[in-house]
A = this chain, B = another copy of it.
Amino acid sequence: MTTKFLDKVKVPADRYEMRLSGSGGQGMIFGSVVLSKAIGIGGDAKNVVQSQTYGPEARGGASKADVVVSANEIYYPKAMKLDFLLAMTQEALDTYYGQLKPDGILLVDTGLVTEFPTKNYYGMELTRMARNDVGHIMVANVIALGAIAAITGLVSKERLTEVVLEHAPRGTEDKNRKAVDLGYAEALKFKK
């Protein structure tokens, strides 16, 4: 596993492209909407476009949702060369790894992915953590968001938590807060 860790991703004036990918039902769209809102309405004057594609143009069975961040207006909202890729399944990794830049950051659910095209990745057992440590498999995506906040520094843990709770179904607040905390803390360990 990589030891490379960016203290804080510098949001480029041009663009920073992220993709959250997995299978349908893993909440990649929910995660991307929340992440985009947290980054974009966080007060740092970042523009964010969040998008997903359906139909024959969308490749394969993997589900993906894209987030493009820029300090400037975003004229072209599609992600092309990824600066960050979350892969929650083997199929998602195999489908989208080719679009990751050579120095791009890869975060993988190592409980579900077994074959790696690179040694340069951050591995966390996101789904196992959701089930065993939080008690609800559906928050694996929120654990990933916590990790993304820690790894990229694009949004604070507090701001992310706020937006997660705004959008989470009533009654799931505690589990979601715990999921953000867990993902954030676990990812910080990569720094040591």
The interface of chain A, by Cβ under 8 A from chain B, is 29, 33, 36-37, 39-41, 45-58, 73-78, 169
Given contacts A33-B29, A76-B76, A77-B78, contact A41 B53 (CB under 8 A): no
Q: Which residues of B contact A51 (CB under 8 A)?
A: 49-52, 77
A36 — nearest CB in chain B belongs to which residue?
B54
Query: How many copies altogether?
Result: 2
Cα separation A39 to B73 with both chains bound (whole Å) = 29
Q: Is the CB of B47 within 8 A of A50?
A: no
Given contacts A33-B29, A77-B78, A169-B169, contact A47 B57 (CB under 8 A): yes
Q: With A33-B52, A48-B53 given, can you name 15 additional A-B contacts, CB distance below 8 Å? A: A36-B52, A40-B54, A46-B55, A47-B56, A48-B55, A49-B51, A50-B51, A50-B54, A51-B51, A51-B52, A53-B77, A57-B73, A57-B74, A75-B78, A77-B77
Q: Is the CB of B45 within 8 A of A54?
A: no
Cα separation A169 to B169 with both chains bound (whole Å) = 9
Q: Which residues of B contact A46 (CB under 8 A)?
A: 55
Q: Is the CB of B57 within 8 A of A53?
A: no
Closest beta carbon of chain B to A167's beta carbon, Å: 9
Given contacts A76-B76, A77-B78, contact A55 B40 (CB under 8 A): yes
